[in-house]
Chain A
Amino acid sequence: MATAIKIENVSKQYRLGVISTGTLSHDLNRWWATKIMRKEDPYLKIGETNDRSTKGKSEYVWALKDINMEIEQGDVVGIIGKNGAGKSTLLKLLSRVTKPTTGTIKYKGRIASLLEVGTGFHPEMTGRENIYMNGAIMGMTRAEITRKLDEIVDFSGCERYIDTPVKRYSSGMTVRLGFAIAAHLDPEILVVDEVLAVGDAEFQKKAIGKMQDVSKGEGRTVLFVSHNMAAVQNLCKRGYILNNGQIYYTGQIDDVVSKYMLNQDIRSQLKLSEIKERKGNGVLKFIDIKFIDEKGIERNTFEVGEKLTIKIYVKVLDSFHISKTSRIDIGINNIMDTRITWLSTYMYSDRVELKDDCVCFFISQLLLNDGMYNVNLYSTVDNDLADWIRNVARLQVVFHDFYKSGRELPEGQGCFITDFKMI
């Protein structure tokens, strides 16, 4: 397949602070150096990387630094990263809203950007007039829009309001209409930034479906920026993680998403007892958690089907005992932070005394699918929340010939392994 977008050494520098008299001296300085002395721009050298939370010395930051990307035609590429990582700046460069400080971008065909759709709308004009206006802004001709008008109105689901000024629309309707226009634009390259945040579930589904059609059926290229990992994973084939204006990682979308999720909530190797981010009255406190295999050895990676004991150490008053109202829970989430399973003393509500201030959950056969899991701990004492810590530990599960057939499990076939046999 041919390359649709080629980004070479692109950087973008921004100046921080307000523009005032001081800026003029920098401008004069720059003008003197570049135009008269024919030297390099003095302010290009002093930029700092773009870490929003630390205080920098320089007024100039690199929102993007030395970005290189090559995107194949027909690819759906997800771009993820924290706030301020440079995602939107990159899309702005691509949609030609502003130009890069250095470097070049080469692309083939028409780029349509969906940066916060519906912003070109004029509130006083009706939906129909705005379809024409917005379509024209995105480079469609009048005839093209007329041909697709019914389709657009139908897709947006705003037929009833189409001759009402847009200022009477709800925000969701505005986005629907905006997305409908852009989706029918038939651009060779579609750039999408967080549009799905406003629409309802039905519309989100519709929009993702449309983007999939656009890329699969018609061979168009889609660049998708979102914080919604499920949507990214659903839609994209490849992905990039941006961090502080640089490409941190790139690869297949599943790897990219798991890498990003892992990185996002890596808790530094704090001891459980020292974690500050916890809720509860502290009558019971979690001290430690251990995953122990059948030989009594502690480890974090287990094979599907293995025996596993989760041992939780707590600090409590002597009189404490587990009962119906005082319990300890283990919640296991996948990396998308979706609850996969739940283990609780509550399910065995008989009175249990603690031995050596610890409680053990024995799993005779670990049937979670291949992947990384986050473990959350929760406890109530006499029905009051005592201690609650999220992402206390990480459990890695690998699939290794569970069915004794030597076959590998294909990807994307659920979160559980079922112990079945052919008869």
Chain B
Amino acid sequence: MTIFKHTINKQTQEEQYSTITSANRLLDVNLKELIAYKDLIRMYVKRNIVTFYKQTILGPLWFIIQPILTTVMFMFVFGNLAGISTDGIPGPLFYFAGIIIWNYFADCLNATSGTFTTNQNVFGKVYFPRLVVPVAVTISNLVKFFIQLAIFLIIYIVYAIQGIGIAPNVYIILFPLLVIMAAGLALGFGIIFSSMTTKYRDLTFLLQFGVQLWMYATPVIYPLSTMPADKQWIFQLNPMTSIIETFKYAAIGNGVFSWGWLGYSFAFMIVLLLVGIVIFNKVEKSFMDTV
């Protein structure tokens, strides 16, 4: 009996050991650990928000000023000068709807793509799951997103009272899913980018430019419906297209909605996130040597 007890004891003792090795298993992803660090995620979110407007006079107001200025600029450049149609939807409403989702996506992507390089100071000193940082960035940008969404709602209500004849349809219940998809895509692309730029920085030069270009490939400033019907699938290959189109369709009744393309975007996001986490996980173990 005592012998038996002893072996059990020994076994449990063996199990308690954690190992650090040079080996690299492909799917050695520890999401449980990420959850264990949920308090750290919360602290990072708080820090990102608090430090955003430290030592500014207008503070969080900048969250609002920025998209309003962009909308005004878009209305002037694309609406008046270029004369791109908004399908009969009032300009502020049309542009704002596209901008808030796109801005959220672009902000997350830009911020997460520099995860390793901007945090090398902390990463070089202590270990914690590195994924905490990009996840926290994605969450803290939500605050900005919801503030902008509130502005959008105000504009929306103002126009609704004036009787333009806009009303949300039942697809608006997909809205939380759309936000999650935009977040997932930004996080996925962001962590892949940050993993690829630890050693060779070439791609960082491409990113800023690439994100801008990408916006023009996404129906933010133009409705997808103005494109020839047989060419629309090319635009739909862009996973952001169906997210923005679905939102516009649900909120202002303008846009192309298809379950198929939305499903495509969702699948795209899942695969991208998985690939991203695997790559990120591989890089995080030794990036300090090359960053």
Q: Which residues of A contact B (CB under 8 A)?
A: 2, 6, 14-15, 19, 23-24, 27, 92-109, 111, 113, 115-116, 119-120, 122, 124-125, 129, 132-133, 136-142
Contact = CB atoms under 8 A, between A and B. Distances in A.
Contacts of B55: 124
B249 to A, nearest CB: 41
Given A107-B17, A108-B17, A141-B39, A19 B125 contact: no
B274 interface: no
A108 B39 CA distance: 23
A98 B19 CA distance: 13
B47 A125 contact: yes
A137 B40 contact: yes
Sorting the interface of chain B by its residue count into under 10, 10 to 19, 20 to 34 or 35 or more gives: 35 or more
Given A97-B125, A137-B122, A23 B285 contact: no
B50 A136 contact: no
B212 interface: no
A124 B54 contact: yes
Contacts of A109: 16
For the complex of A and B, the 5 pairs showing the least CB-CB separation, nearest first, are: A96-B127, A136-B40, A105-B20, A99-B285, A98-B288
B22 A99 contact: yes
Contacts of A116: 125
Contacts of A136: 37, 39-40, 42-43
Contacts of A139: 36-37, 40, 128
Contacts of B51: 122, 124-125
Contacts, number: 112
B47 A133 contact: yes
Nearest to B38: A141
7 contacts: A15-B289, A19-B200, A94-B20, A98-B285, A108-B16, A116-B125, A119-B125
A19 B121 CA distance: 19
Contact of B43 (A95, A108, A133): A133
Given A2-B13, A95-B126, A98-B288, A104 B19 contact: yes
B2 interface: no
A24 to B, nearest CB: 7
Contacts of A124: 50-51, 54-55
B17 A106 contact: yes
B285 A104 contact: no
A258 B86 CA distance: 82
Contacts of A106: 17-20
Contacts of B44: 133
B121 A119 contact: yes
Nearest to A112: B126
Interface in B156-184: none
Contact of B20 (A96, A125, A132): A96
B45 to A, nearest CB: 11
Contacts of B42: 136, 142
B40 to A, nearest CB: 4
Contact of B126 (A6, A97, A104): A97
Given A133-B43, A141-B39, A142-B39, A120 B122 contact: yes
B47 A120 contact: no
